[in-house]
Structure 1
Amino acid sequence: MKLIRFGEAGKEKPGVQLPNGNKIDVSTFGEDYTEQFFETDGIERLEKWLKINESKCAKVSEETRLGSPICRPSKLVCIGLNYAKHAAEAGMKIPSEPVLFFKSTTAIVGPNDDVVIPKGSTKTDWEVELAVVIGKKASYISKEEVYNHIAGYVLHNDVSERAFQIEKEGQWCKGKGCDTFAPLGPFLATKDEVKNPNNLDLWLKLNGEMMQNSSTSDFIFNIEESISYISQFMTLLPGDVISTGTPFGVGLGLKPPVYLKPGDVMELGIEGLGVSKQKVVAYSGK
């Protein structure tokens, strides 16, 4: 099943994308895609509900805005330098254990919303990533237990400001959590739809030119290793998002480096998880 949320920003409604590509409104199910939804076997309950009620659900127009396919999670945990070639292009050594950082949940936007270059930014960059959505509370779990705790998978653009991230002192979160820096979607694919998350093609184009083109088979730390590892340090709650790192081909690694500017368009996708597209715009606040 593919879960979507649609409508005006901040007022999204829950929906489902059917196997034929049509999108339907499931508001009458009575729940949004929250921590409680995932915690109480919401995916299974929604599947049963749809068998009876699908024909009564209104169709969602293709012109309707899509939001993040899940409500704001308790946290968005990211793994850095999880592809060897990306570590090399960033000028950093291959890690011996996963590098973790957080993105602010206020960075989350819809899959086709604009990405805003932050105030004072000179080095905003792109990163296509596979993100995992947690379906069951996870604390100190083994690698063998990981798939029992996954709800599904979603496409994520881990937009990053490299000067904030690397040149300022302190943690990477400065360059990762700016508003609009976490487009998610177009949909959440439940785990039964993705046979092997450790072997998915993923790519990103900038203004039509292929910049990233790789596979999650190049992970340094695969899904099982990564989520088990994170759960040794924090409790993962239903609905939490784990972003698994980006392959080579980011702007930072080009010679000379290339960074996003107003008017640029990023288009990205992952096998089985759809495609998203974001226009880059300048910061217009004070």
Structure 2
Amino acid sequence: MSNPYQALPYRPFAELLDLSGKTAVVTGGSSGIGLAISRRLAEAGANVLIGSLAPERSDELIEAGYAVAFEATDVSQPGDIERLANAAIERFGGLDIWVNNAGVYPLKAIDEIEANFWDALHAINVRAVFLGAQAAQRHMRRLNSAGAIVNLSSICGHRPMANHCTYDASKGAVLAMTRSLAKDLSSFNIRVNSISPGLTATPGNLAPELLEQHRQNNVLGNIALGRAAEPWEIANAVLFLVSPLSSYVTGVDLLVDGGWLLHGS
């Protein structure tokens, strides 16, 4: 009879961030936070397949000599997600890590939100997260891989902001979905976690209209550390959650918000 309290064997520190031989898929991984995640996982030795609508800056990683490939992917199309999972196995021979990073961030006041707007946003921010996790776990189970899935939520899943109803709802759904998936997949040794970034210095967040909204809402004044995150700081958290460093972590949301949620508003 096996001992249910038997711990995993000790691993030296040098192995804990080594992803050599692992294959990772990163949706929306060719720009912004996704590009930083793709780079960090590649630096740790993983084979990385980026699934995105356009290559954008993914060529930088390929030209730098990392084991990175690009697959044109529209995550709002279920068939594209399944094709992306198959492509990872065909190209790299396995699937160990799946990062649901792709997302959209359009904002509208409540009276301006139409059904088509709601459905289009949730097709990317919610449905694609589920379908990505579903496809990933199916292959991980078939390959008997101790997999790791990370979903990108947002501080907006924890705290409402003006004109964010559709977006906030989508990110709250990701939080609930992560916990449910973690429970369902734990018996297959597949860990599922999420990350909730705060304000991050990506091209989208530096757009003039968003900078003005951040100014009006005193966003920087509400962040304990007094600055936006760099994309690579979010990527560091993803690396933690997909590496052996977090081998006993599943079903959690990791806030990477510089202490924004500490503030009362």
TM range (shorter): under 0.3
TM-score of the superposition, structure 2-length normalised?
0.28
Q: Which has the higher strand share?
A: 1
Q: Which has the higher helix share?
A: 2
